[in-house]
Every structure is written in structure tokens, then in C-alpha cells.
Amino acid sequence: MNNQEYVKKIVSYIRSYMEQNNITQKKLESLCKEKDAAVSQGTISNIFAKPSSARLSTLINICDGLDISLSSLMKNICLSSLMKDLVVFV
């Protein structure tokens, strides 16, 4: 998986997490601000519209706002990829 694919997976994971927890983009902006990891709603919207535009530092700030550790995020992404690979083999 190349870097852009990882970024897309990270954005997808964040979006899914937000949907599961009923967190709007506006609420995410507020959560990030509370953690001194300010990310504007406009930036969040742009990231969801075009994941390749996301900066790593912004994704880290978003994860901080959501209390998602980077290690658990990466484990989930790797496990998800492994599960898809296993399905192909079956």
C-alpha cells in the first residue's frame, strides 16, 4: 500500500468513527479545539471531499480531537487490509 492509499484509509476510518459516534464536522472542529489541536470545519470538509489533500499533521490533530491513538488507528487499518486479503484467498 502506498502513502496515498494509507491516507485514504485513515480518512475513511475517521469518517466511519464519526458516523458510528454521531459526530458532525462541526462537533469535530469543537473537539479538536478543546484538545488544542485546532482544525477548521472547512479543512475537515476538504479532507473528506479530497483525502489526498490531507496533511499528516492535520490527521494527527483530528485523531487527537477524537481520542484515537495513531497506533490503534494503524492496527485497525492493517487488520482491515488483512481481512480483505483473507477473503480473496477463500
Reported in sequence order, the residue ranges of 1-90 that DSSP labels E, i.e. its strands, are none
- Let me know: does 11 contact 51? Beta carbons within 8 Å: yes
Q: What is the DSSP letter of 40?
A: -
pLDDT for position 81: 67
Identify which has the larger pLDDT, 3 or 83: 3
Rounded to an integer, what distance in angstroms lies between the CA atom of residue 62 and that of residue 14?
8
Q: What is the DSSP letter of 51?
A: G
pLDDT for position 33: 95
Q: Smallest Cα–Cα separation from 38: which of 16, 13, 60? A: 60
Model pLDDT for residues 49-83, shown as the tens digit of each residue: 999 889 999 999 999 999 999 888 888 888 776 55
CA 84 to chain centre: 19
pLDDT for position 89: 47
Rounded to an integer, what distance in angstroms lies between the CA atom of residue 11 and that of residue 66?
13
